[in-house]
Structure 1
Amino acid sequence: MTIKIFSQLNLSLRRPEFWAYSSWLDIVTRYRRTRLGLVWLLAPVAVFMLITGPLYARMFNRDLASYMIHLGMGYAVWRLMVMVLNDSVSAFRSNKSFIQDGNTRLTDYTLKSIAKSLFYFAFSMIGMLAVMIWSPAVSAPAILTLFISIPIVLINLFWVGYSLSILGARLPDLGEVLNTILMVGFLFTPIIWEGNRYPADSLGGVVVRLNPAFHMLEIVREPLFGRMPPQSSIAYVALLTLSGWLLAIFLCRRYSRYVPIWI
């Protein structure tokens, strides 16, 4: 018996016309009337790095070239995750007309949220690529590790986004709860600061290492510096992926049929 979420996901991936094209169209429409157009997609990560990078590198007594990679990649991946989560929690309600017209392949709407955020992330990577080439802390082969680490992040973002979409359809207040959690989560995620500032056996270290975003960033950033991610992070992400997909399978099987009624 084919698991429903996988059969729907397979059809969605084979027919990307809706979720991929509509995501790109939303972005193009938004920036079409601005003078700089799609160049604005580069701005958030670039401005964040240029303003906060030199300041905090001096504050933490870090080499600027390596710290800019730590800061820029951390912020870019965090922004990708936050955009997917914020968009997913209202994905079904935002596409109410399509669902009620009969397009009940719910994976389309999760992929639409991911695709839109991924377009923003891809543009931000243009600036990051320039910084990585400039920085002696990152070698050319190390950049290729992003083709492994970023898909791992996306695989996890799918089950999170799908689960949030179903829960958000049933619980309208979930979006506000999520915004609060993400606002606090930024403070406990090593984007500006570094996770090794807190030893693993300290209270701060335990709190930081309970944060899933910490381990996602470790998986992405450590290989860029030519280091293997900690085994604890690899194990954490593997367990998170498995348990998360089991949750998504359960929610799909148990509650997906109620989504048209809830919205």
Structure 2
Amino acid sequence: MSSGPPASDSRTLKRALADLSAGARQRELWGHLAWQDIKQRYRRSVLGPLWITLSMGITALGLGLLYSQLFDAEIGTFLPYITTGFIVWNFILGCLTEGTDTFISNEGLIKHLPAPLSVYVLRTVWRQSIMFAHNMIIYFIVIAIFWGSVTTPDYSITEGGMPQPGLNWGVLLAIPAFALIAVNAGWVVLLFGIASTRFRDIPQVVTSLINLLFFMTPIVWSTDILRDKFGESVGWRDLVAELNPLYHFIQLLRAPLIGNEQSWHHWAIVGAFTVVGWLLALLVLRNYRARVSYWV
């Protein structure tokens, strides 16, 4: 007997795109499922989803106070920097870790509900977006407290660091920046989700690399620290940040939120990842879409 779908099963780009289109049209379904996920997670909790925000606030405050002293940075500019970095990081982290489990955790629905695979991808991305919105409460509180520091022209994250323009109308760039990151989250969840159904080691590999990725990414430290320690010409040390894709994703959204100078090379690099990532995801969806229900 055959262990998989017939060879004639639709391995065409048209069917893969149709899956994405059909999933997008079923926004009531994936929107409801995502909200139910959050309600279920905090069932019988007094604060409910606000525990997400409280946990984020405590972590950002604790590490902000610690690292501002270690790096001799002003708390008024460093705490907004680290808080915003944490918020963006947690969105990316959630899409990575929960994305690998997207189809595995939806095994029952996949086998019994005739829905496009993209419904489960959108469910994961939308759930993470809701959690991101909750965490943004912390951002507004921190910005309100340190408004004078982050709106001062030519302020710096650390002492002697690169002067920043300060918070202004450029903050509106955060809207398209988040939209672009969310679009990338789609291909990450789709690609890693399908791969994880076939190779069950992938979620463990991703989880084991999370701590390394966190400390290698400028979240609790700034690139100004490298320049301060090694001078303007930091050589290979500068590549620690520039060759890290997560740095560009985080800085894309963090920079406008705290009034940092927005470099357009971040947009170019993230844009390139968007195109390449979706091409790979569509290729995998085209070839293995019908096999997911057999693999989960």
Scaled by the length of structure 1, the TM-score of the pair is: 0.92
1:212 is aligned to 245
1:87 is aligned to 98
Q: Does 1:72 align with 2:105?
A: no
**Distance in 1 separating the partners of 2:122 and 2:195:** 16
Partner-residue secondary structure (3-state), 2:262: coil
Q: Does 1:128 align with 2:139?
A: yes
2:184 is aligned to 156
Partner-residue secondary structure (3-state), 1:229: coil
Query: Which residue of 60, 63, 66 maps to 1:55?
Result: 66
1:21 is aligned to 32
**Distance in 1 separating the partners of 2:59 and 2:170:** 23
**Distance in 2 separating the partners of 1:214 and 1:103:** 39
When you count helix as a share of all residues, which structure comes out higher? 1
**Distance in 1 separating the partners of 2:29 and 2:236:** 47
8 Å CA contact retained: 1:5, 1:107:
no
8 Å CA contact retained: 1:56, 1:192:
yes
8 Å CA contact retained: 1:3, 1:249:
no
1:236 is aligned to 269
Q: Deviations over 1:116-144 (max 9, x none)?
A: 11111111101211212332314363443
**Distance in 2 separating the partners of 1:240 and 1:201:** 26
The alpha-carbon distance between structure 1 residues 38 and 102, as it changes in their structure 2 partners (threshold 3 A), is: closer
- Give identity over the alignment, percent: 26
8 Å CA contact retained: 1:4, 1:252:
no
Compute the displacement of 1:208 (Å): 2.4
2:118 is aligned to 107
Partner-residue secondary structure (3-state), 1:37: coil
Scaled by the length of structure 2, the TM-score of the pair is: 0.82
Q: Deviations over 1:182-231 (max 9, x none)?
A: 22101101110012433575223213222111001111122234444324
Compute the displacement of 1:246 (Å): 0.8
1:250 is aligned to 283
8 Å CA contact retained: 1:222, 1:229:
yes
Any gaps of 5 or more consecutive residues in structure 2? Answer: 1-11, 152-166, 228-232
The alpha-carbon distance between structure 1 residues 247 and 2, as it changes in their structure 2 partners (threshold 3 A), is: closer
**Distance in 2 separating the partners of 1:252 and 1:246:** 10
Q: Deviations over 1:148-178 (max 9, x none)?
A: 2111111111111110011011001111001
Count of residue pairs the alignment pairs up? 263
1:41 is aligned to 52
Query: Which residue of 164, 167, 174 maps to 2:195?
Result: 167
**Distance in 2 separating the partners of 1:99 and 1:24:** 19
Q: Does 1:97 align with 2:130?
A: no
**Distance in 2 separating the partners of 1:148 and 1:259:** 32
8 Å CA contact retained: 2:241, 2:247:
yes
Any gaps of 5 or more consecutive residues in structure 1? Answer: none
**Distance in 1 separating the partners of 2:174 and 2:88:** 11
